Structure 1
Amino acid sequence: MENNHLRTFVLIAGLTALFMGIGYLIGGQIGMIIALVLAGAGNFFSYWNADKIVLSMYKAKEVDSSHPDPVVRAYAQDVEEMVSNAGMPMPRITIIENPQPNAFATGRNPENAAVAATTGLLSMLNRREVRGVMGHELAHVRNRDTLTMTITATIAGAISALANFAFFFGGNDRERPGGLIGTLAIMFLAPMAASLVQMAISRGREYEADAGGAEISGDPQALASALQKIEQIAHGGARGQGGAVNMDAERNPATAHMFIINPLNGRGADNLFSTHPATQNRVEVLMKMTRGDTPPSKPHSPRKTGKKVDLPAFARPVDGKKNTKSPWE
């Protein structure tokens, strides 16, 4: 855990240094100072407004356990129960009208957080699986990943924009380091480097949230099953053919790292340019946890009761037999 936080800090520092370096190449010391100021302003704005911006972008609607729809009501009840068991502040619970099964968390800290599930997630997964997915999102909130990923996305986006400006500003090409070739290198290589750093941070955080989500929900097997279903429906299987399209995410690809599974079609592989680890790799880790080969992450909540988180009532056996009751009742 400590090594992951240290690596994240180093990578964010690297992004900031890259941003300042581009500013220096464009406008010398003054350009570097301007770049630093812009980075600080962007991070400050993102810190205070990230949740509002993202929820508005996806037209998320807030719900609670009194909702008239039984599926939405059960979803809200399970989130509230897991939050209470984990000793966390209550986040805003929202739903998004979207056919692709997916979910994300946002907010600057656990006290100002929100979790969101798409209508596709609630309609295509059973209650145990939805509970596992939301446990993963609550782990992101508890680990403060939402703030980390917002900052990295802001800096990475600013680097891309600044790199594009490099071609038009900063004096004569001959006066710039490397001339025209150097400018072109900035335009293409800087955004690529920023994206790689952002993706490296995101992938490490997903594995950690899977472990934390399994601990919060008490059901790693349900989370593993949910990941497989979402991957199959969202990306059309291993070959990436077809799949449910998330048009809002396609229009805003910078938010792709926020979702539990990459919402952009055709990007399911665990490679250099993926925002998420390969789903199969995540499932294998969770199944090891189910067998007891790998212990879940240690609790980080302020309230450490030492009590094991039990399965919800609908998932527990009845008189030693499998519970045949509907998972959404």
Structure 2
Amino acid sequence: MKTKIHFIVNPIAGKGNNGLSEALLKTYFPETEYSISIKKTAFVLHATALTQASIAEGAEIIVACGGDGTINEVASCLVNTSILLGILPMGSGNGLASNLKIPKNLKKALSVIKIQNVVTIDTGTINGEPFFSNTGVGFDAHVISDFEENTTRQLFSYLKSTLRTLKKYSYQTQLQIKYNGTTELVSPFLLFISNSNEMGYKMSLTPRASLQDGLLDVVIVPKLSRFKLGLFTMLFLFKKHHWLKEVRFQQLTALEIKSLENTTLKAQKDGEFFVPKEPIIKLAIRPKNLNVCVL
């Protein structure tokens, strides 16, 4: 029987010129051995609907062709199933693909899918919805909110969004966080929760995080003076932000975040802006429940 491989393509990911074609795919996946389907997304959450249709059609490998947002939509449908997730990294940041050492070169990435070397990774959840790279409440969420207003999604656009957000970002929101039987009050500049060791663009707030350790890596950065904020930024660029004593790290299996003002918190989920339906955010790790093709 032929192996069914479905490609879910975000045609505007990255620079919007991915070079993926049926002719190219047939050179890697000949018709005598494989049944290939290419589906292109047209709107937000379309990748989810297309993936669900592919599952119903009996696809054995479903390939997310785009950035971390596209991967999130596809992979969310594949957790706790035997269907393999393939990744063709075509986005701007490509944090998860980089963590998994999946090449950005299209032909090399296709070879990874053909070889079908599989690892099983952990996934996180935020209010029950899966995330695979990271999520956050605070500065990063506001940067993503600004970034999504850009027509182009490149590193320069991300840097501009970061600078704009720095000028207007407020630290007034007070949060109650609960973990391991402990309750704290914090008013963080950044509250970042990661499953992987990369955010995208080779940058990382959690360089020691692992996709297979059954833990979420949490970074809490309090309100900082302008000098300390500049120092934090410089250290972050060299992955040495742990040198700053104000920066706290935790490894947890679950975390609850609540706004004391009972307001809905802004968050980001795998680089996409995310607004929870309630003022409480519950995060958890789900060990080894997603099968991914890797090198």
Higher strand share: 2
Same fold (TM over 0.5): no
Say which one has the larger Rg.
1
